[in-house]
Structure 1
């Protein structure tokens, strides 16, 4: 034992101990170096993760570009212009490039975590393809508006996606921070161990000089590693600071996007607590922004809008109930809320994948009002505001469905104004429109509240009366006719019109609303045929009359004029010379296969189909040829239709016929009606002047029955006027008619115009007409219309009746 503590032994033991400690220290340094390398590697991996967590930035950039494109499109749809169109194209190209961020890198991992996110990115991709196809025509307002409408549904989803991306990035950043803190702790422990080992090693170096050199070298190596590790830590800290700054920047962009949205927005978590809202929502509902802190419940929002006065208790409760239904069912949806000032708010509810929801609020007042105006215009007459044909049919169908089982009938009254065209043509369409508005007001004031009054077009109105009887419908028709006959004061003009009414009853139709209206129209046609100013109930035989008219039209189109038609002539007698001065050519259709057809029946058909032009030319030529063979060189009078002036070249036709037949122009009298003169067009006046220049005489037929007839005598080249037979028929018992005839005769004579009285049937009428100073007469008292052969015989012999004059 003693030798062990000898000086030589102590040095050997010390050397051995130092050698052992040196070997242990070197091993510890090697282990520490390896551990430090591992720590540094993990540190660099964490920093790499930070650089990859760009999800919030990508989502915010995509959402911002989407909102910018939407705003540019809205401006382009409102005002147009090439600068805006170019800006829209630029924003669209940028948005397409942003789509690549959504389908690559960490963002793709974020999207794949939830089907709703994948669906949003897919819909965005499809929308961009749709917009790409529209870009060539995006400058057209309608195309721009269509693009805005296509983008609107996706805006809420992109906002929700950006919000979830923001939360996702925050979570990932927190994980990285925790890893960095753990590495900091590990590194600190290793550094302390190094420090202690270094102290121990330095102490041992004092024991032996030879070990000092080796220890010094090892410490230099350790210090170099420590310096490198310190630099790595400084870089990691800088990366963390940069990542935090980027996240703060993205949060700022997200806040800016919320603040600049055109819609209001509220986002709630799974516990129905407010996460975030924007200023647009507060402004829209008049709620102070400070009253919307995070954590606010939908119930509190409802109470705030009621307190602010923007919502009524009822509308707020209804909107809250509908929203709760969507929340409970976790379904997207849209609800409308009407505010107290009349604004209409569209609330779009969109659930989020992890619970909660996003609600966007859009003021659609103008769009809603425009849609209501369009819907109203589609079903109402713009002039009178009454229901039009479309709305009338809907109401009539409802009334007929509700009337099933009722004892009373449903009546449809078809009303048409008499002489309305005269008002339009002489006083102008503004007066005609004012008349129609006044008529609509009078009719509406005479029917019950449950009755339907509609305007079908022109001067035709229709009244539907549910639960009425036949007698009651007749009384209403009489009241309407009496009321509408009363004079109208319109812009300084006194206007008088009448009305005719056709009535159809549901019990007599049984085939639906369309046939009910058709039958009322047939009854109206009969009422107008019976002399106007009256009403008629529908009868089944009216359908037969309509079918007959259709068959006659077909027969007329296929008729051979030379074989089926013939002319008859009625003499016109001069009361001074007591001689026949002219004969009027009248058309007859004895060859019709359906039997006797009067001119009053087939002439209107020819007029409406345009066949009157060809038929009138045939009559003109035939009359002129027959006139050449009449004794005494009497004149021939031929009626011309207004259609012959409008659809044919009447001047050339007359010139050609006179040349073909050889009849002197002064022996041809052309009879026109006041309806032709109502046009008062330059073409009509020019044609009449050219005919007059040929030497042809112009007679104004049916004079006295039109509107402002006397003015025609001054404005047009008229040689004769034929006083309408309606005045002559009652001249013996009606002093007013006699006064009218006398006034017409006196005025005509003052203008050096010859007068002819039509329809003289009795000796008494002849004497009265002669007493008025009338120049000539025509009627059955002298002769009915006769074929050409018979009229020649008539003209060759004297007639005792002429002596009565």
Structure 2
């Protein structure tokens, strides 16, 4: 009896030492205990998971990988070289970068560093994947694919909301000041136009806040007209706006201000019984003529704007300069 118990104990000990999932050839050998469960667990992941051996041949690809790339179960076969899989996906139009050789060369450069690294891939259908390459001690490696399209879209939306006025969609004061500081310190100089609307409050009082909001949105659209790629229109708050004309020739700034003033004072259709009219006062300061710091430019342009309002003048340079005339170059 003792001998029989000893044999049973030895068999149990060998059984306990056996691996729960071992690689056999290509793919996992699904043993009687946990191998099949591990495969099912990997297949249930929302991410794509691929395991490659030291020769860059596929050992295992889960259902998430096939789902992301629209493959049937037999397409990503164990034993296929990683380069072949890239070519397969590229041929099906799933890679924004259409040269498989370039994709594979970049992947090998990453793997050669032997450190985990995550890169962003954009597919031709617009989806964005975070691809994490994880080298393994035996020379193989793991590729983990995560669809981050919605997450990045949400992050971009949150960034936009943080930097933009929700009513008009224009950059807010914080973003505007960042761009102004950069432009003022640049070699090309810039012009700052601070704009205050006259007659906005009566529109709000007579026609209601919805009409006032519609008016502000139309003002924003008019300010966007004719802006260059480096120029910025901003709503600073209430009925105050600003324009940054980056690298604008000094001789053209006053003409630009008068053109903007004429556009802002044209009639607005806000859904009332008749078009409404408003006025605008514009104060102007230029870098480096007046200052090379954004905050000083704001102070000077703001002072010029309020003086323009007091004098009934549409556009005014910095108070130290003559009304309506450009400063000497």
Q: TM-score, normalised by structure 2?
A: 0.86
> Does 1:427 find its partner at 2:207?
yes
| C-alpha distance in 1 between matches for 2:227 and 2:147 | 41
- Post-superposition Cα deviations, 1:201-226, rounded to whole Å, max 9, x if no partner, equal xxxxxxxxxxxxxxxxxxxxxxxxxx
> Does 1:522 find its partner at 2:306?
no
| C-alpha distance in 1 between matches for 2:101 and 2:159 | 29
> Residue 256 of structure 1 aligns with which residue?
40
Higher strand fraction (1 or 2): 2
> Does 1:452 find its partner at 2:307?
no
Give yes or no for contact 2:90–2:98 (8 Å, CA) kept in 1. no
| C-alpha distance in 2 between matches for 1:465 and 1:474 | 11
| C-alpha distance in 2 between matches for 1:299 and 1:49 | 43
Quote the offset at 1:500 in angstroms: 0.3
Higher helix fraction (1 or 2): 1
3-state DSSP of counterpart to 1:248: coil
Q: TM-score, normalised by structure 1?
A: 0.37
Structure having greater relative contact order (Cα 8 Å, sep ≥ 6): 2
> Does 1:50 find its partner at 2:26?
no
3-state DSSP of counterpart to 1:517: helix
3-state DSSP of counterpart to 2:210: helix
Residues 52 and 480 of structure 1, relative CA distance in 2, 3 Å threshold: same
> Residue 414 of structure 1 aligns with which residue?
194
Quote the offset at 1:316 in angstroms: 6.0
Quote the offset at 1:299 in angstroms: 0.6
Aligned residues: CA RMSD: 2.6
1:151-170 → structure 2 map (5 Å cutoff)? 166-167=21-22
| C-alpha distance in 1 between matches for 2:42 and 2:62 | 6
Residues 261 and 453 of structure 1, relative CA distance in 2, 3 Å threshold: same
Give yes or no for contact 2:307–2:319 (8 Å, CA) kept in 1. no
| C-alpha distance in 2 between matches for 1:290 and 1:524 | 71
Residues 319 and 522 of structure 1, relative CA distance in 2, 3 Å threshold: farther
What residue ranges of structure 2 are gaps of 5+ in the alignment? Answer: 322-329
> Residue 78 of structure 2 aligns with which residue?
294
What residue ranges of structure 1 are gaps of 5+ in the alignment? Answer: 1-36, 57-165, 171-243, 542-805
Which residue of 500, 504, 511 corresponds with 2:285? Answer: 504
- Number of residue-to-residue matches in the alignment: 314
| C-alpha distance in 1 between matches for 2:151 and 2:235 | 28
> Does 1:330 find its partner at 2:135?
no
Residues 468 and 292 of structure 1, relative CA distance in 2, 3 Å threshold: closer
Give yes or no for contact 1:269–1:357 (8 Å, CA) kept in 2. yes
> Residue 792 of structure 1 aligns with which residue?
none
3-state DSSP of counterpart to 2:130: strand
Give yes or no for contact 1:287–1:304 (8 Å, CA) kept in 2. no
Q: Which has the larger radius of gyration?
A: 1
Quote the offset at 1:44 in angstroms: 5.6
| C-alpha distance in 2 between matches for 1:421 and 1:315 | 60
Which residue of 380, 383, 392 corresponds with 2:167? Answer: 383
Quote the offset at 1:337 in angstroms: 0.9
